[in-house]
Amino acid sequence: MHISRMSTLDPKDIKLLARLQKNGQISAQDLADDLGMSASQISRRRQRLEAEGYILGTPCRLNPDRLGLNVQAFIQVETRAQTNGTHQSIKRLVATTPEIVAAWTLTGEADYIFRVYCTDLAALNRLVQEVLLPHESIGRVHSQIVMDQVKDDTALPLPR
């Protein structure tokens, strides 16, 4: 019998993932030269890592400034009653509002925090006044605007 290894990552896997999360389009040959192995191995390892669920996808990162998305903010949201439909209701809101690019619930003052991109302060204000506050499940909101983006990778820390 054999058990599909679901291998633990070896050092070459770690380096490969590190390179890929910097640049998902780097050629297998370049990676091969870099890691001291053949391009075909890079290709196979990459397929294996994807199949095993390490790689979620390879989206392009767009430039918010270039797109006129000049205002970035976090919006803390207090829900009303917290009936049992609240969470689904918020999920729908988040899914259908493109300005909300990410949303979490946190420990502590629980409720929700949204990360949003808008073209300007007026648009942010419209989002709050015309979309969030009128929403059935939302009580109060508190916006904090991003002044300085010190770092914004999506690069995760890797083992070792």
Partner DNA sequence: CCAATATATGCGTGATCCTTGCATGTTTAC
Partner DNA sequence: GTAAACATGCAAGGATCACGCATATATTGG
Question: Which positions touch DNA (CB under 7 A)?
Answer: 1-2, 4-5, 7, 12, 27-29, 36-41, 43-47
What CA–CA distance (Å, rounded) separates 11 from 13?
5
Taking the complex as a whole, the smallest distance from the CB of residue 5 to DNA amounts, in Å, to 5
Which of residues 53, 84, 130, 134 is near its own copies by CB under 8 A?
53
Q: Is 13 helix (H, G, I), strand (E, B) or coil?
A: helix
- Closer residue to its own copies, CB minimum distance, 40 or 105: 105
Q: Is 76 helix (H, G, I), strand (E, B) or coil?
A: strand
- Closer residue to its own copies, CB minimum distance, 69 or 141: 69
What CA–CA distance (Å, rounded) separates 92 from 115?
16
Name 156's Cβ contacts closer than 8 Å, sequence gap at least 6: 21
- Closer residue to its own copies, CB minimum distance, 1 or 4: 4
